[in-house]
Structure 1
Amino acid sequence: MTDTEWAEVRPLLPVPGWLRGRGGQPEAYCHRQMLDAIRYLVDNGIKWRAMPADFPPWDRVYAFFRRWRENALVQEFHDRLRAKVREKLGRDAEPTAGVIDSQSIKADAVVGADSRGFDGGKLVNGRKRHVVVDTLGLLLGVMVTAADIGDRAAAQVLLGRVAAAHHRLELVWADGGYTGSLVEHCLATFALVLAIVKRSDDMRGFVVLPKRWIVERLFAHLMQSRRLVRDVERRTSSAEAMIYWSMTLLMTRRLARPRPSRA
């Protein structure tokens, strides 16, 4: 991170327990070093043991990653960054509308049979990333499943989590794969309107559809992080954490940009 990014990030970091008087020992390495190491790994797709010597030892970085994953600290950090990005752009911190979609991705050999499957539509053997984004393309929620899990089944769980975390959310756009009983379920259970944006039968070739392109922009960003080009995580929780870390790269860079002049 640049010094400008770090100035934006530092106040948003979760406070360690030892600083709150809850016991424990002070951490041996600066949070900035740890964040830089994990973001380097995500961005460049290296193995944990290939961590460059400029960073703390790989096992200490992995222990930091695992602690933040298991205690949902990476998600907390990510959500604080998202709120600050939205406020910088003149939006409310909490969104009222979003977009849902999924992306099937090939899985590495280390991914066990219990969390991988075959997506017959995309012809992909691996996992599927189900995401909900706001109208700026920022992540609201993610769930990684086997690739053979249907979009509607996963969306029922994911939308429940997102609706519980974002009480102002009222409307979510989706493609034709989410039609059926899910629309009525979302309205009755989550008080959430699921609006289906369908592709016309007359359309030929690539056509930009309203709202649905927003979530595709997020998928494009994820594919720029080499660690996410293929799913190489043994656990789905680690795969989800890597997506959150990738989004922190995007948002800290946005926060570090000069504010637009109103002159």
Structure 2
Amino acid sequence: MTDAKWAVVRPLLPLPAWLEGRGGQPEGCCHHITLDAVRHLLGNGIKWRAVPADFPAWDRVNAIFRRWRRQGLIAEFHHRLRARVPETEGREAEPTAAVIDSQSLRAADTVGAGSRGWDQGKKVGGRKRHLTVDCAGLLLVEQPGSRSSRRHR
């Protein structure tokens, strides 16, 4: 991540408790490098344990990412950064129209029957997820409980 991009993202991250004088210990790895590791993982579709040695240990990165997600920071990152895209094009930050779409995903036979279904229209057995996007294709809402946001555990 370039320094210019980091300057945009950095204010969205919370200050560690030890920097604010609330106790605790330093995390042992920089948030910039941690975010780069998460971006590498998601961009390349690799598993947590396959994070390259150039980054902090996978379990450290995973723990920080889980904490950010639990605190709602990942959704907040997405919401704020998504709003910046239309502004750079001279449009309103909030979309005026949206499209709801679904996608049927094939599931292996090992996936439990309680989370599988059959899409008669596409003749696909598996899971279905729903997304709401703006006219530029930027994600607005993902169906709660969708497995797509948890595929890199």
Where on the TM-score scale, by shorter chain, does this alignment land: which range? 0.7 to 0.9
Alignment of 1:99-110 (within 5 A): 99-107=99-107
Alignment of 1:203-214 (within 5 A): none
| Structure-1 separation of matches of 2:73 and 2:107 | 26
CA distance in 1, matches of 2:111, 2:68: 21
Establish whether residue 47 from structure 1 lines up as the match of residue 43 from structure 2: no
Residue 241 of structure 1: how far off its partner (Å): 5.7
Unaligned runs of 5+ in 2: none
Alignment match, 1:15: 14
Partner of 2:149: 240
- Alpha carbons of 1:98 and 1:24: their partners in 2 closer, same or farther (altered >3 Å)? farther
* Distance (Å, rounded) in 1 between the aligned partners of 2:28 and 2:21: 17
- Verify: 1:4 aligned to 2:4, yes or no: yes
Change beyond 3 A, Cα 1:123–1:32: farther
Structure 2 equivalent of residue 192 of structure 1: none
Secondary structure in 1 matching 2:143? strand
Q: Secondary structure at the match of 1:6?
A: helix
CA distance in 1, matches of 2:111, 2:40: 22
Deviation, 1:139, is 1.1
Alpha-carbon shift at residue 141 of structure 1 (Å): 0.5
Q: Who is 1:88 aligned against?
A: 88
Deviation digits for residues 209-246 of structure 1 (CA, Å, limit 9, x no counterpart): xxxxxxxxxxxxxxxxxxxxxxxxxxx46x32669xxx
Shift of 1:108: 5.2
- Secondary structure at 1:40's aligned position in 2? helix
Q: Write the distance in 2 (CA, Å) between the matches of 1:89 and 1:50.
A: 37
Deviation at 1:73, TM superposition (A): 1.3
Question: Alignment partner of 1:36: what SS?
Answer: helix
CA RMSD of aligned residues (A): 2.6
| Equivalent residue number for residue 125 of structure 1 | 125
User: C-alpha separation between the residues in 1 aligned to 2:103 and 2:3?
Assistant: 34
Structure number with higher helix proportion:
1
Larger relative contact order (C-alpha < 8 A, sep ≥ 6)?
1
Query: CA distance change for structure 1 residues 110 and 73 in 2, over 3 Å: closer, same or farther?
Result: farther
Are residues 17 and 7 of structure 1, via their aligned partners in 2, closer, same or farther at CA, if it must alter by over 3 Å? closer
Q: Quickly say closer, same or farther: Cα 1:120–1:92, change in 2 above 3 A.
A: same
Change (3 A) 1:51 1:85: same
Query: CA 1:98–1:30 in 2, change beyond 3 Å: closer, same or farther?
Result: same
Distance in 2, matches of 1:101 and 1:85, equals 21
**1:69–1:241 CA contact under 8 A, matched in 2:** no
Normalising to structure 1: TM-score of the pair? 0.50
Do the aligned residues in 2 keep the contact of 1:129 with 1:144 (CA within 8 Å)? no
Percent of aligned pairs with the same residue?
A: 60
1:57 aligns with 2:74: no
Distance (Å, rounded) in 2 between the aligned partners of 1:20 and 1:120: 56
